[in-house]
């Protein structure tokens, strides 16, 4: 009963204006420790606010640039230890009030925020406790993930980071993406396998060059089982062979149909491309779909280069265009 009464009193104090008197005086010099962790798998920063020794309550106002995306905000103070009030409904601002039943130990987390920003950019945000006057202006640095994708004006910059953020494409090691390197057939099969949620295949594909235990084995087995990929007449899959643009279109088209997509072709959408005749019969419908859908654009306004190799940057752009369509 006493605990419930205490909780009601705390709630009343929290709902009063900024001039309200705290239930207990904060220790001299009270404030917060701000801990920032950069995610290694997504372009996000996780920010924790931790108390100093002896703190019992606070009323925080946080402001951040609106070009930052607040992915999540939640109190980390357990319900049995106190009460909280959090409002993050207005972009650029977070209001958070908390009150604990007992004085908190040094380093007790009370609030966690996750932000997503632009690679290579540093943002500034401000935190103030409106009851004590404590405040801090901190940097939120978003590191470049890839040392060879630094130029924001490069046509592939946004696509590479979007494909990475979506968990579809990784780097090639040592913090490099290799945007101009060709992509191989096994990698695209793996990308689509990830997009599908990495479901288990029922067995091994019949390809003579796909051995058990390779990094691409599960992906190729699944893709072959679902009809997303085919092999060559000699029974091989050729996992390390550079993928051509028409092979890329065909694999993506088959995957889209596997997800329930239905294509209603218009008039010959490839008619304006001078090398339309170089598109293989087995790839014609897929190439038409990708062009009609805006997923693939020509190498020039009049050429498709269907048998040419696709670079990693080109595949990243195609994948991002596909995700936008869906």
Q: In the chain, pLDDT over 90 holds for what percent of residues?
A: 73
**Averaged pLDDT, 73-95:** 95
The pLDDT-based confidence of 21 (bands split at 50, 70, 90) is very low
**Averaged pLDDT, 181-207:** 95
Give residue 28's Cα distance to chain centre: 42
Q: Which residues have C-beta within 8 Å of that of residue 145, sequence separation ≥ 6? A: 43, 119, 161, 164, 171, 175, 177
Contact 183, 242 (CB under 8 A): yes
Give residue 57's Cα distance to chain centre: 34
Please give the Cα distance from 263 to 293 (Å, whole number): 10
| For helices 312-325 and 185-195, angle between their N-to-C axes, nearest 10 degrees | 30
- CB atoms near residue 171 (< 10 Å): 17
Buried/exposed code over 27-50 (b: 16+ C-beta within 10 A; e: otherwise): eeebbbeeeeeeeeeebbbebbbb
pTM summary value: 0.68
pLDDT at position 27 over 80:
no
Q: Residue 317 has which token pair?
A: 């752009």
Q: Residue 43 has which token pair?
A: 């372009």
* Per-residue pLDDT, 43: 67
Q: Residue 73 has which token pair?
A: 């905000």
**Averaged pLDDT, 114-124:** 87
* Per-residue pLDDT, 23: 31
* Per-residue pLDDT, 42: 61
The per-residue pLDDT of the chain, averaged, comes to: 88
Contact 148, 177 (CB under 8 A): yes
**Averaged pLDDT, 130-141:** 92
Contact 104, 56 (CB under 8 A): yes
Percent helix, percent strand, percent coil in the chain, to nearest 5: 30, 25, 50
What separation in angstroms does the CA of 11 have from each of 16, 100, 275? 9, 10, 72
Please give the Cα distance from 246 to 289 (Å, whole number): 11
Place of tokens 């997800």: 259
Of 162-171, 201-210, 253-262, the one with minimum mean pLDDT is 162-171
In the structure, how many helices (H) and strands (E) does the chain have?
A: 7, 9
Q: In the chain, pLDDT over 70 holds for what percent of residues?
A: 89
Contact 13, 20 (CB under 8 A): yes
Give residue 186's Cα distance to chain centre: 23
Place of tokens 């972009």: 91
* Per-residue pLDDT, 142: 84
pLDDT at position 123 over 90:
yes
pLDDT at position 11 over 90:
no
Give residue 225's Cα distance to chain centre: 28
* Per-residue pLDDT, 271: 92
Bigger pLDDT: 163 vs 9: 163
**Averaged pLDDT, 74-87:** 94
* Per-residue pLDDT, 212: 93
Summarised one tens digit per residue, pLDDT across range 272-303 is 999 999 999 999 999 999 999 999 988 999 99
Please give the Cα distance from 269 to 278 (Å, whole number): 15
CA angle 194, 147, 297 (to 5 degrees): 55
pLDDT at position 161 over 60:
yes
Q: Residue 42 has which token pair?
A: 């997504």
């Amino acid at each position: 009963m006493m605990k419930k009464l205490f909780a009601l009193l705390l709630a009343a104090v929290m709902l009063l204006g900024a001039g309200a008197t705290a239930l207990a005086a904060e220790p001299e010099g009270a404030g917060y420790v701000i801990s920032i962790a950069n995610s290694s798998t997504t372009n996000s920063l996780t920010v924790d606010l931790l108390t100093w020794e002896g703190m019992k309550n606070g009323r925080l106002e946080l402001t951040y640039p609106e070009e930052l995306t607040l992915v999540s905000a939640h109190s980390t103070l357990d319900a049995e230890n106190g009460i909280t009030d959090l409002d993050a409904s207005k972009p650029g601002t977070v209001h958070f009030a908390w009150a604990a039943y007992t004085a908190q130990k040094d380093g007790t987390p009370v609030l966690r925020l996750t932000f997503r920003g632009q690679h290579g950019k540093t943002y500034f945000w401000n935190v103030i406790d409106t009851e004590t006057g404590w405040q801090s202006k901190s940097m939120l640095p978003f590191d470049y993930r890839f040392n060879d994708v630094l130029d924001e004006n490069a046509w592939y910059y946004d696509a590479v980071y979007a494909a990475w953020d979506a968990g579809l494409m990784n780097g090639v090691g040592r913090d490099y993406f290799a945007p101009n390197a060709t992509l191989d057939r096994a990698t695209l099969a793996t990308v689509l396998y990830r997009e599908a949620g990495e479901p288990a295949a029922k067995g091994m594909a019949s390809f003579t060059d796909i051995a058990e235990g390779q990094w691409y084995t599960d992906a190729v087995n699944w893709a072959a089982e679902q009809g997303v990929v085919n092999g060559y007449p000699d029974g091989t899959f050729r996992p390390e062979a550079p993928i051509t643009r028409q092979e890329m279109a065909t694999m993506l088209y088959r995957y889209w149909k596997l997800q329930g997509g239905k294509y209603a072709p218009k008039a010959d959408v490839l008619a304006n491309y001078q090398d339309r005749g170089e598109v293989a019969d087995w790839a014609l419908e897929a190439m038409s779909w990708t062009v009609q859908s805006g997923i693939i654009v020509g190498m020039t306004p009049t050429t498709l280069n269907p048998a040419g190799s696709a670079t990693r940057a080109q595949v990243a752009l195609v994948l991002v265009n596909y995700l936008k369509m869906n």
